[in-house]
């Protein structure tokens, strides 16, 4: 008789429940796994055989067939080792298989029978609960992330022998999560950055409304320093956002066993040698890239112009749609990519164009060539530009007390709170997510502001996208002031963030 056990795999960020059917018949010894298994699953044969023998059980001599159903879904990862081993032991009556179908069983086996960690445990538990399967046998290292889902009954184990003993005696209570998730304290603060008040203000607006921003300026004026301190002023994640982020880190195997729910917004700063695949995801395993790892957080591209032009161009689609579809002949997945892009660059090859402290040695041609890496459509997707200036000696040695991250974060948080209320009935998180329909509904301006917009947009030939961006940023500036109406001062400030390299209004 064939034994059937529930297990799971995942597709993209979605858990997929599967049935592991094991049948052992008479015949020449053979061990076959059928049902669209990837290499990692096919290789499980060797691990399962050794784990069973090294745990003190007999490995059957007959013809073993393992069917992974439904057969049309690709099974990925090494997480099916444990259910296959349990299936073989149950099919040969070496363990008690009664009630085994109440569990979803996942885990990778080592040759000596230890159960090692798996990727994607959290999405698997979420999918199990959705299918009314509430009991899970999982590796101990994954217990904490699995227990984040309230209804789930988690039974964590370290070895195959512990699982078989439990199935025999059923003598264990489900795992209880005593961990309290706290925001990690940063040892950096905005107050350490001398001056740069305009860029600090621009970053505050960007974080408050979820707007993209490019900082430009001469070398050594604090652009990278400011960017690395952005996490200290970001608003907290909501529970749903935390769960989304934790799911992504679970799938990519980047979740620390002691971490549980991720409560800090992601901050990713890939090096400029990053490839397209590293940034958007893909590869033969269709893994998520940096843009998905930055979901609900920040993607910081330092030295933007050092990135390969084609790498920058692939960002165009996710910047707009806030997700990425990766298609390969092996399948296709959609990953979320709702990130805030922060980038920094020097305004010219020598770095000192517009700087008051040193003469720029570049020709106009040098500058145009240098900036040509940033295509029109790419720049069109950027919400804000901010110039960071070079300090003179007095500014460098100034003893003025700078504002702390905590006090900036309070304003950002208050503005986000207004946005959460505003969008309670919409599927939006912040002003940056608004589409044309929402902009018409939530960004009405007074007549003076209308007049300014009229004059400005008649003077410069802008895209509709830019017009919408100016309105969205104006909305955020008004929210930071707790002002219901968008007035002329909000619009004027929003327009000022469209100045890229002086004289070139973008």
Per CB under 6 A, residues contacting ligand ATP are: 193-196, 219-225, 344, 346
Which of these ranges, 107-115, 216-224, 394-402, 463-471, lies near Mg ion under the rule CB under 5 A? 216-224
Q: Of 100, 93, 77, 95, give the one whose Cα is nearest residue 9.
A: 77
177 binds, among ligand ATP, Mg ion, none (CB under 5 to 8 A by kind): none
Token code pair at residue 274: 């990053």
Q: What span, in angstroms and rounded, lies between the C-alpha atoms of 126 and 69?
A: 20
Q: What span, in angstroms and rounded, lies between the C-alpha atoms of 120 and 124?
A: 6
Closest approach, Cβ 226 to ligand ATP, in A, equals 7
User: Residues 492, 452: contact at Cβ < 8 Å?
Assistant: yes
318 binds, among Mg ion, ligand ATP, none (CB under 5 to 8 A by kind): none
Query: Among residues 228 and 236, whose Cβ is nearest to ligand ATP?
Result: 228
Token code pair at residue 480: 């930071």
Query: Among residues 130 and 272, whose Cβ is nearest to ligand ATP?
Result: 272
Token code pair at residue 425: 């009935």
List Cβ neighbours of 10 (8 Å cut-off, separation of 6 or more). 16, 76, 77, 119, 120, 123, 124, 251
Closest approach, Cβ 342 to ligand ATP, in A, equals 12
Q: What span, in angstroms and rounded, lies between the C-alpha atoms of 85 and 52?
A: 7
Closest approach, Cβ 307 to ligand ATP, in A, equals 14
221 binds, among Mg ion, ligand ATP, none (CB under 5 to 8 A by kind): ligand ATP
Query: Among residues 31 and 300, whose Cβ is nearest to ligand ATP?
Result: 300
Q: What span, in angstroms and rounded, lies between the C-alpha atoms of 429 and 425?
A: 11
73 binds, among Mg ion, ligand ATP, none (CB under 5 to 8 A by kind): none
Q: What span, in angstroms and rounded, lies between the C-alpha atoms of 267 and 228?
A: 9
- What residue number has its CB nearest to ligand ATP? 222
Closest approach, Cβ 215 to Mg ion, in A, equals 9
Query: Among residues 129 and 194, whose Cβ is nearest to ligand ATP?
Result: 194
Q: What span, in angstroms and rounded, lies between the C-alpha atoms of 126 and 131?
A: 9
Closest approach, Cβ 278 to Mg ion, in A, equals 20
> 């003179």: which residue's tokens?
392
Closest approach, Cβ 202 to Mg ion, in A, equals 16
Query: Among residues 197 and 454, whose Cβ is nearest to ligand ATP?
Result: 197
Query: In the chain, how long is the greatest CA-to-CA distance?
Result: 88
Q: What span, in angstroms and rounded, lies between the C-alpha atoms of 376 and 368?
A: 13
Contact status: 181 vs Mg ion (CB under 5 A) = no
List Cβ neighbours of 34 (8 Å cut-off, separation of 6 or more). 65, 66, 67, 68, 71
Distance of CA 104 to the CA centre of its chain: 27
User: Residues 118, 104: contact at Cβ < 8 Å?
Assistant: no
Query: Among residues 223 and 367, whose Cβ is nearest to Mg ion?
Result: 223
Q: Of 381, 378, 380, 382, give the one whose Cα is nearest residue 313.
A: 378
Query: Among residues 195 and 209, whose Cβ is nearest to ligand ATP?
Result: 195
Q: Which of 54, 96, 191, 224 binds Mg ion (CB under 5 A)?
A: 224
Which of these ranges, 23-31, 63-71, 217-225, 267-275, lies near Mg ion under the rule CB under 5 A? 217-225
Closest approach, Cβ 343 to ligand ATP, in A, equals 11
Closest approach, Cβ 501 to Mg ion, in A, equals 17
346 binds, among Mg ion, ligand ATP, none (CB under 5 to 8 A by kind): ligand ATP
Query: Among residues 264 and 344, whose Cβ is nearest to ligand ATP?
Result: 344
Q: Interface residues with Mg ion (CB under 5 A)?
A: 223-224
């Amino acid at each position: 008789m064939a034994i059937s056990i529930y297990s799971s795999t995942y597709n993209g960020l979605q858990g997929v429940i599967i049935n592991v059917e094991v049948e052992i018949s008479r015949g020449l010894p053979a061990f076959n796994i059928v049902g669209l298994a990837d290499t990692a699953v096919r290789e499980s044969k060797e691990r399962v055989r050794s784990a069973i023998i090294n745990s003190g059980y007999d490995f059957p001599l007959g013809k073993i067939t393992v069917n992974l159903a439904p057969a049309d879904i690709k099974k990925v990862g090494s997480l099916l080792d444990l259910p296959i081993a349990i299936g073989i032991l149950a099919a040969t009556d070496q363990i008690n298989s009664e009630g085994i179908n109440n569990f979803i069983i996942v885990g990778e086996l080592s040759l000596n029978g230890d159960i090692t960690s798996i990727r994607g445990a959290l999405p698997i538990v979420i999918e199990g609960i959705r299918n009314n399967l509430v009991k899970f046998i999982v590796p101990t290292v994954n217990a904490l992330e699995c227990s984040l889902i309230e209804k789930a009954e988690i039974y964590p184990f370290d070895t195959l022998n512990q699982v078989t003993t439990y199935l025999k005696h059923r003598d264990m209570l489900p795992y209880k999560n005593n961990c309290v998730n706290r925001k990690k304290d940063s040892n950096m603060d905005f107050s350490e950055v001398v001056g740069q008040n305009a860029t600090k203000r621009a970053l505050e607006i960007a974080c408050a409304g979820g707007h993209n921003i490019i900082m430009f300026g001469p070398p050594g004026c604090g652009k990278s320093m400011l960017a690395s301190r952005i996490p200290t002023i970001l608003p907290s994640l909501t529970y749903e956002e935390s769960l989304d982020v934790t799911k992504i880190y679970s799938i990519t195997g980047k979740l620390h066993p002691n971490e549980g729910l991720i409560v800090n917004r992601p901050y990713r700063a890939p090096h400029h040698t990053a490839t397209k695949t590293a940034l958007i995801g893909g590869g033969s395993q269709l893994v998520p890239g940096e843009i998905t790892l930055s979901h609900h957080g920040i993607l910081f591209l330092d030295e933007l112009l050092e990135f390969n032009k084609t790498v920058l161009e692939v960002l165009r689609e996710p910047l707009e749609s806030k997700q990425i579809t990766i298609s390969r002949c092996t399948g296709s997945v959609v990953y979320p990519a709702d990130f805030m892009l922060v980038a920094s660059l020097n305004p010219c090859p020598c770095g000192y164009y517009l700087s008051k402290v040193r003469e720029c040695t570049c020709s106009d041609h040098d500058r145009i060539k240098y900036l040509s890496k940033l295509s029109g459509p790419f720049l069109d997707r950027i919400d804000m530009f901010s110039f960071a200036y070079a300090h003179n000696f007095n500014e460098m040695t100034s003893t003025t007390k700078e504002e702390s991250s905590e006090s900036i974060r309070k304003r950002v948080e208050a503005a986000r709170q207004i946005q959460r209320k505003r969008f309670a009935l919409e599927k939006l998180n912040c002003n940056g997510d608004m589409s044309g329909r929402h902009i018409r509904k939530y960004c009405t301006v007074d007549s003076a502001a209308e007049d300014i917009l009229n004059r400005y947009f008649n003077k410069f030939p802008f895209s509709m996208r830019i017009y919408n961006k100016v309105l969205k940023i104006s909305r955020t500036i008004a929210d930071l002031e707790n002002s219901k109406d968008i007035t002329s001062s909000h619009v004027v400030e929003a327009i000022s963030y469209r100045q890229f390299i002086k004289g070139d209004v973008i």
